[in-house]
Structure 1
Amino acid sequence: MENQEYSVGLDIGTTKIVAIVGRRNAHGKIEILGVGKAKSLGVHKGIVNNISQTINSIKTAVAEAQSSAGVPIHKVTVGIAGKHIRSLQHSDYIMREHPDRYITEDDIEKLKDQVKKLVMLPGEEIIHVLPQEYKVDSEGEIQEPVGMHGKRLEANFHVVVGQMGSIRNIARCVREAGLEMEALTLEPLASSEAVLTKEEKEAGVAIVDIGGGTTDIAIFKDNIIRHTCVIPYGGGIITDDIKEGCSIIEKHAEQLKVKFGSSVPELEKDSTYVTIPGLHGRPDKEISLKVLAQIINARVEEILEMVNTELKAYGAFEQKKKLIAGIVLTGGGSNLRNLRQLANYTTGFDSRIGFANEYVANDKNQYLKGPEFATSIGLLMESLKIRDKRVLPTEEEIIEEAVAKAEPVAQPTAEAEKPQPVQRIEEAAKPKEENRRSKPTFGQSLMDKVKKFFEEVEE
């Protein structure tokens, strides 16, 4: 199988590292070829804090994905998150040299490159430059300017910025794991590709990806990315709260959260208990599921209040910016029971759980159905987009090919097949206008004849 036929998404998360290999089938859906998963040991709240452990985890996940897919993995599209991520709005423009020619992708890339030269705070680097709306000359609110004519091309941009050190650490881990980083993508953008519909993005929607170390937010309205941010709390801190509140080890706290955890204490019975085995002969411990839910509820409410703050910062409660499609909860943390009901109550928006299997064609055993794979599948989709863009011909190439096919090809004659002297080729290459100018005029001919006559008389 050729390497170009498939793509790879690599999710370097706080709790797990996932590598997914896939390709697009004839119907446009994603066919998963292989999945590799490893425990993430060197990442804390989305930031690499142990290089060697992260490299080993990446190698383990990629080796498993290679084995299950039966193909070698060389290039990967990687996700990035962490509390160092921030976003800003910026407007910029370029003046086109040839306004009589229509706007192409090259003009848009030139405008993006100009935005990438923005001066950031010390130690920061631009990750994404995302166009929102374009303006060509005096015409505004243009979604797609390619093909239009104009002198001034202007756009509003959503710029995503991150710490240079964190970006370099991820790049180093990927490189030393023997891989090439094809692209670096903000994780909430990747998740949105996997779980949001076009209708939701148009109506207005916020995706809330609750991961192990962070909660990532991306807000869309009118099919345009409007706001992104990363909250430095996720499922991991809920596990820590259970461990401290119930005085148990982390392994048991995680199992309690996954199997019996609930976000709404009022829905749990006072008489329901679960038994945790004691350590090394110590007596077993009984924990009330209502108490467990109260511990979880306190932290989840805090996270949702932070989400609410970001929604207010965007202006989601204004009539013009209202999120008609509400909230889509995804990520491993969204598996908590009754989380959707609590989100509805806390934010005032309708919410649903976002599953990533809608675009997957061959997930028969529903292994990838869980929302914890949303980011991984989104990164795979981003990688496939990059590959398709590289493989598909540009508009200019299509036009040139069509013109070439339309022009009649002259059949070579026997005379034309003979090799011509260099002098004749050079003469043939000169424009006819130049040949006409080289012919002497009547006055020049007369002067030449007179000059020749006097020369003969002198002789």
Structure 2
Amino acid sequence: MENKDIAVGLDIGTTKIVVMIGRYNEYGKVEILGIGRSKSLGVHRGVVNNITQTIQSIQQAVQQAEAEAGVKVQDVVVGIAGQHIRSLQHSDYITRDNADKVIDDEDIDTLCNQVHKLVMLPGEEIIHVLPQEFKVDGQAEISEPIGMYGGRLEANFHVVVGQISSIRNIGRCVKNAGLELSGITLEPLASANAVLSQEEKEAGVALVDIGGGTTDLAIFKDGLIRHTAVIPFGGNVITEDIKEGCSIIEKQAELLKVKFGSAWPGENKDNEIVSIPGLRGREPKEITLKNLSKIIHYRVVEIIEQVFVEIKNYGYEEQKKKLIAGIVITGGGANLKHLKQLVEYITGMDTRIGYPNEHLAGDSASEATSPIYATAVGLVLNSLERKKRQQLHAPVVTEKQPLEADTEAENTQIEEEPNQDKVVEEQKMKSKNFMEKFFDKFKDFLDNAE
């Protein structure tokens, strides 16, 4: 199997590091070839705080995935999350030199590059610039301005910002683990690609990814990303509460949460008891499942309420911003019993658990369809899309060169009346080009840094 056909996603989480290898099958679905998973020892709330341990964990996960898939991993797309991520809405415009010329990809590129020059707080860098609605000469609610005439081009943007030091640390870990970084993407966006359907994104949906260290939120409406947020609490704080509340070690607390935990205390009877072995010959501890559920319940309510505050900040109560598809919960925390019912009770919104099987082939490992792997599946999809775009674009560049050299007049004609297929292709690529430019700059930094 050729390495150019496969794609690799690397999810550097607070509790686990996952390496997933996949490829397109003959039906255009994604087939997962191998999954490697290791305990994450050097990451706290999505931010690397121990480079050496993180490198070792990445290498361990890579070896597992390689052994399962029977291929050698060379380059990866890595996900970025963590409590340093924030987002903002921004509007900007450009005045075009020639209003008699149709708007093309270059104009949108210029507009987005202008947004990249926004002054951020010290140490912060723009990660994603995602265009939303456009305005051409005051005409609003234009989703695709390419091919239109106009002198003033405006747009609303969703801008995602992060600490550049945190992003560079992740890049350094990947490079020192012997891998090439082929792309970076925001983890909530990767998870959304894996678990949401296009219909849900159109109708309006809030994706809640409950990880070990953080809970990520991404809100979509009319097919576009509208709001993102990172809440610095996840499954780890629930485990910590159980450990403190029941006076047991962390390993036992995690097992209790996974096997017997529930977000709804009313489900457990008072006489349901689980016995925990004592340490080094000490007496075993007896814990009632009702008390366990109460501990979990209070912390989960706190997390959901913070998520709900962010959904309210987006303005979901307005008629135009209604989230018809409700909430989709994914990530490791989505496996907690009765979580769906609790989210519906607190928010009053329809809720479902998000499984990353939207784009997966039927013969993919059943393990890959667990919500735990939503981000990893999304990163594999992202990597496959990048490779597909590169393959589509490779021949276009070679054919264009003689045209530029031969006849400038013909080129002008092509610009004025753009080919429709080309317009559609440019539309698909538009929002990703800017991220790739940031990534190229970031890659240069990594190559020069020692």
1:197 aligns with 2:197: yes
Once residues 12 and 314 of structure 2 are traced to their aligned partners in structure 1, the CA distance between those partners, rounded to angstroms, is 28
Alignment check: 8 A CA contact 1:32 1:362 kept: no
Q: Which runs of 5+ in 2 are unaligned?
A: 404-450
1:158 aligns with 2:161: no
Higher relative contact order (CA 8 A, sep 6+): 2
Once residues 173 and 94 of structure 2 are traced to their aligned partners in structure 1, the CA distance between those partners, rounded to angstroms, is 37
Alignment of 1:140-179 (within 5 A): 140-179=140-179
What's the counterpart of residue 426 of structure 1?
A: none
1:101 shift after superposition: 4.3
Alignment check: 8 A CA contact 2:32 2:368 kept: no
Alignment check: 8 A CA contact 1:357 1:363 kept: no
Greater mean alpha carbon deviation, residues 96-105 or residues 324-333: 96-105
Q: Letter of the 2:262 partner, please give it.
A: S
What's the counterpart of residue 112 of structure 1?
A: 112
Question: Residue by residue, what CA displacement relative to the aligned partner does 1:19-63 show, whole Å, maximum 9, x if unpaired?
Answer: 111112232210112211111000011010100000111111112
Question: Residue by residue, what CA displacement relative to the aligned partner does 1:248-306 show, whole Å, maximum 9, x if unpaired?
Answer: 11111000000000000011111111111111111111110000000000100000110
Alignment check: 8 A CA contact 2:45 2:83 kept: yes
- The number of residues matched between the two structures is 403
Q: Letter of the 2:313 partner, please give it.
A: A
What's the counterpart of residue 19 of structure 2?
A: 19
Once residues 59 and 362 of structure 2 are traced to their aligned partners in structure 1, the CA distance between those partners, rounded to angstroms, is 25
What's the counterpart of residue 66 of structure 1?
A: 66
1:135/1:16 CA distance change after superposition, 3 Å: same
What's the counterpart of residue 231 of structure 2?
A: 231
Q: Letter of the 1:197 partner, please give it.
A: S
Question: Residue by residue, what CA displacement relative to the aligned partner does 1:100-140 show, whole Å, maximum 9, x if unpaired?
Answer: 44433333223222211111111101111111112223332
1:259 aligns with 2:262: no
TM-score using structure 1 length: 0.84
1:40 aligns with 2:45: no
Point out the structure with max Rg over C-alpha: 1
Q: Secondary structure of the equivalent of 1:76?
A: strand
What's the counterpart of residue 5 of structure 2?
A: 5
TM-score using structure 2 length: 0.86
Once residues 173 and 107 of structure 1 are traced to their aligned partners in structure 2, the CA distance between those partners, rounded to angstroms, is 36
What's the counterpart of residue 424 of structure 2?
A: none
What's the counterpart of residue 318 of structure 2?
A: 318
Once residues 398 and 92 of structure 1 are traced to their aligned partners in structure 2, the CA distance between those partners, rounded to angstroms, is 34
Once residues 30 and 210 of structure 1 are traced to their aligned partners in structure 2, the CA distance between those partners, rounded to angstroms, is 24
Q: Secondary structure of the equivalent of 1:392?
A: helix
1:185 shift after superposition: 1.1
Q: Secondary structure of the equivalent of 1:367?
A: helix
What's the counterpart of residue 276 of structure 1?
A: 276
Q: Letter of the 1:38 partner, please give it.
A: S
Q: Letter of the 2:21 partner, please give it.
A: V
Output the aligned Cα RMSD.
2.1
What's the counterpart of residue 382 of structure 2?
A: 382
Question: Residue by residue, what CA displacement relative to the aligned partner does 1:322-349 show, whole Å, maximum 9, x if unpaired?
Answer: 1111100000001000000000011111
Q: Secondary structure of the equivalent of 1:377?
A: helix
Once residues 384 and 114 of structure 1 are traced to their aligned partners in structure 2, the CA distance between those partners, rounded to angstroms, is 29
Once residues 16 and 308 of structure 1 are traced to their aligned partners in structure 2, the CA distance between those partners, rounded to angstroms, is 26
Once residues 128 and 73 of structure 2 are traced to their aligned partners in structure 1, the CA distance between those partners, rounded to angstroms, is 25
Once residues 127 and 370 of structure 1 are traced to their aligned partners in structure 2, the CA distance between those partners, rounded to angstroms, is 28
Q: Secondary structure of the equivalent of 1:368?
A: helix
Question: Residue by residue, what CA displacement relative to the aligned partner does 1:378-437 show, whole Å, maximum 9, x if unpaired?
Answer: 111111111111111499779979x9xxxxxxxxxxxxxxxxxxxxxxxxxxxxxxxxxx
1:196 shift after superposition: 0.6
Once residues 398 and 325 of structure 1 are traced to their aligned partners in structure 2, the CA distance between those partners, rounded to angstroms, is 45
Q: Letter of the 1:295 partner, please give it.
A: I
Once residues 129 and 211 of structure 2 are traced to their aligned partners in structure 1, the CA distance between those partners, rounded to angstroms, is 24
